[in-house]
């Protein structure tokens, strides 16, 4: 009767552990079986093939040794010949197994300790796996928890069904927690690590603020209002761009709430972080102007290729547009994805005058004309001598104060100047040692070839080995002053590679690109070794 009670107690213990750790009872029983099997092998010999099984209804433990039936025995502990095997189990054939029951073992202190360690480890592994499976699909959610401990600024959080960590750099500045405090944070990553699955929380992540607004503003939760982008300087200031899919609803007003109630709830959670809510626009210029609020903008000039915008503000708005330590313009840049340069109206006027003067002087020097003619050309939008030399005569003659004779003379002088310049550049190319095969490459002008030669790129092979960034980079690109488009630079480089014999034609490049894409999809263990 006592034995039966002990066996049932085993099942009750397994059930209690499973409930406490929130894992399947079967996992706990399998861990117990592994522990009993390990203890039995320690007693009967590790060379034996021993199995342990716990009856799921009665709790009775069955220990057995397996012997494989073979023609010639090589390992006595795990094999048996056919004749003695048939004496124990008639009809058995070679390749079959004899199962010999073994008497129950009496756990000693060391065996019991070993069994306990096995069970604890197995249960811990199962608990970690359960935790990973439960939280891996919850990345992007806001969770509430209790602070369990604080170590070196890192906060360990008890989420009830798992533990998470908020690293020091993911907390708001000057924010501190103590054991037992409640904390709300954003799950930004769940990953397996050598010490087990880790759940990483953040209170400084931009998405945390977006999720807080989703909880406070029903229109965002219902997808009537959409948060387009967020930029944060955690604990100090943030910008939120929103758009409404219902023309009857003001997105900014809905996020602010009655008397600021909704935005104030988010501000309180973020320790007083100031939040600018901005109306998003498809037009980049309008969006950037909105993003620089509360500063007023007088004029913008966009460079869509470089995704850069020049913003002109009144003199009294400069400090407001830039913000304390550049905070306002930095957040606006993060929010919009554009690089923003801010100038005052006086600075922009001075720069325009300087550019006007420089361009006028270049026409005076190149075309040998007086200042008035040079200024008229600049005022009409001409920026280079090439434009003057190759524009239709009718367009030059249409400038107020010009006639056809003057237009013909200006075109002739411009082309003569360009010819002289090309001759000088050709001589300079020879002095630098630029190879003929590189000089004959389509898309490269003599001025470009001189710039390449001065950068020690003198042969077709040298040029073919370059990347487009090495040509176009705004800081140290070899041809940065020539305003090459990325597609144009890539096309010239590919032409050089074909001419250098790296590929036979463009089809070979396409085949190579497809092969690289296919290889990228192959699992690492199947990829061919280089």
Domain boundaries, the chain: 2-130, 139-204, 349-427, 433-516
For 475-479, the CB contacts below 8 A with 24+ separation are: 478/451, 478/452, 479/448, 479/451, 479/452
Q: Say how many Å lie between the first and final Cα of the chain, rounded.
A: 69
Torsion of CA 297, 303, 306, 310, to 10 degrees: -30
Q: Which residues pair with 126 in a beta bridge?
A: none
Q: What is the DSSP letter of 210?
A: H
Alpha-helical segments (H) within 246-397: 251-256, 261-269, 284-291, 318-322, 327-336, 345-367, 371-379, 385-390, 393-397
Handedness of CA 207, 213, 219, 221 (dihedral sign): positive
Model confidence pLDDT, tens digit, residues 362-416: 888 888 888 888 888 888 888 888 888 888 888 888 888 888 888 888 888 888 8
Q: What is the pLDDT of residues 43-64, one digit of tens each?
A: 777 777 787 887 777 777 778 8
Encode the chain (530 residues) as per-residue pLDDT tens digits.
333 435 566 677 777 777 766 667 777 777 777 777 777 777 777 777 787 887 777 777 778 888 777 878 777 777 777 777 776 777 777 877 877 787 776 655 555 565 566 666 766 776 677 777 778 888 888 989 999 989 888 899 988 877 889 998 899 988 888 888 999 999 988 888 777 778 899 999 999 999 999 999 999 999 999 999 999 999 899 999 999 999 899 999 999 999 899 999 999 999 899 999 999 999 988 999 999 888 888 888 887 877 888 888 888 888 888 888 889 999 999 999 888 988 888 888 888 888 889 888 988 888 888 888 888 888 888 888 888 888 888 888 888 888 888 888 888 888 888 888 888 888 888 888 888 888 888 888 888 888 888 888 888 888 888 888 888 887 788 888 887 788 888 888 888 888 888 866 555 544 444 444 443 444 444 443 43
Residue 103 DSSP class: P
- Does domain 139-204 fall under CATH 2.40.50.140? My reply is yes
d(CA 289, CA 285): 6
Homologous superfamily in CATH for domain 2-130: NusA, N-terminal domain (3.30.1480.10)
Strands 163-166 and 198-202: parallel
CA 439 to chain centre: 41
The DSSP secondary structure of 467-521, one letter per residue, reads -HHHHH-TTT-TTGGGT--HHHHHHHHHHHHHHTTS-SSHHHHHHHHHHHHHHHH
- CA dist 156 to 32, 100, 141, 144, Å? 31, 51, 18, 12
Give me Rg for the CA atoms of the chain: 39
- DSSP states along 254-291: HHH-GGGHHHHHHHHHTTT-EEEEEE--SSHHHHHHHH
CATH architecture for segment(s) 349-427: Orthogonal Bundle (1.10)
Smallest CA-to-CA distance from 499 within 429, 434, 433, 441 is with 441
Q: Which tokens in the block code for residue 157?
A: 């959080």
């Amino acid at each position: 009767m006592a034995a039966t009670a002990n066996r049932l107690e085993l099942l009750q213990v397994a059930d209690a552990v499973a409930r406490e750790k929130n894992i399947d009872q079967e996992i706990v029983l399998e861990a117990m079986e592994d522990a009993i099997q390990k203890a039995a092998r320690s007693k009967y010999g590790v060379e034996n093939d021993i199995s342990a099984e716990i009856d799921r209804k009665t709790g009775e433990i069955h220990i057995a040794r397996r012997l494989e039936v073979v023609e010639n025995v090589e390992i006595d502990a795990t094999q048996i010949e056919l004749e003695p095997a048939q004496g124990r189990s008639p009809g058995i054939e070679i390749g079959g197994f004899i199962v010999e029951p073994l008497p129950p073992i009496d756990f000693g202190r060391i065996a019991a300790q070993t069994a306990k360690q096995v069970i604890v480890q197995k249960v811990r592994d199962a608990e970690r796996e359960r935790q990973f499976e439960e939280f891996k699909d919850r990345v992007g959610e806001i969770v509430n928890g209790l602070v369990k401990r604080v170590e070196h600024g890192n906060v360990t959080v008890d989420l009830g069904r798992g533990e998470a960590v908020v690293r020091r750099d993911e907390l708001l500045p000057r924010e501190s927690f103590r054991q037992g405090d409640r904390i709300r944070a954003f799950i930004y990553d769940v990953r397996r690590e050598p010490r087990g699955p880790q759940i990483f929380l953040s209170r400084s992540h931009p998405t945390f603020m977006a999720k807080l607004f989703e909880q406070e503003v029903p229109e965002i939760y219902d997808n009537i209002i959409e948060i387009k982008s967020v930029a944060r300087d955690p604990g100090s200031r943030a910008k939120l761009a929103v758009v409404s899919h219902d023309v009857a609803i003001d997105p900014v007003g809905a996020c602010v709430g009655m008397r600021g109630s909704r935005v104030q709830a988010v501000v309180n959670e973020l320790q007083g972080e100031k939040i600018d809510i901005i109306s998003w626009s498809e037009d980049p210029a309008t969006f950037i102007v909105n993003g620089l609020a509360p500063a007023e903008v007088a004029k913008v000039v966009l460079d869509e290729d470089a995704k850069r915008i020049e913003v002109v503000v009144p003199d009294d708005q400069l400090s407001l547009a830039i913000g304390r330590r550049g905070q306002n313009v930095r957040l606006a840049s993060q929010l919009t994805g554009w690089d923003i340069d801010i100038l005052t109206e006086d600075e922009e006027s001075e720069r325009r005058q300087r550019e006007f003067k420089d361009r006028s002087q270049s026409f005076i020097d190149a075309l040998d004309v007086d200042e008035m003619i040079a200024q008229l050309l600049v005022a009409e939008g001409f920026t280079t001598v090439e434009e003057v030399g190759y524009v239709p005569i009718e367009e030059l003659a249409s400038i107020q104060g010009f006639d056809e004779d003057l237009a013909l003379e200006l075109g002739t002088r411009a082309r003569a100047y360009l010819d002289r310049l090309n001759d000088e550049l050709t001589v300079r190319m020879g002095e630098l040692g630029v190879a003929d095969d590189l000089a004959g490459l389509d898309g490269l002008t003599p001025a470009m070839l001189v710039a390449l030669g001065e950068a020690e790129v003198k042969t077709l092979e040298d040029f073919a080995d370059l990347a487009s960034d090495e040509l176009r980079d705004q800081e140290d690109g070899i041809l940065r002053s020539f305003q090459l488009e990325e597609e144009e630079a890539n096309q010239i480089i590919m032409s050089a590679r074909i001419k250098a014999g790296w590929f036979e034609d463009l089809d070979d490049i396409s085949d190579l690109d497809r092969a690289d894409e296919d290889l990228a999809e192959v699992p690492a263990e199947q990829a061919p070794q280089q």
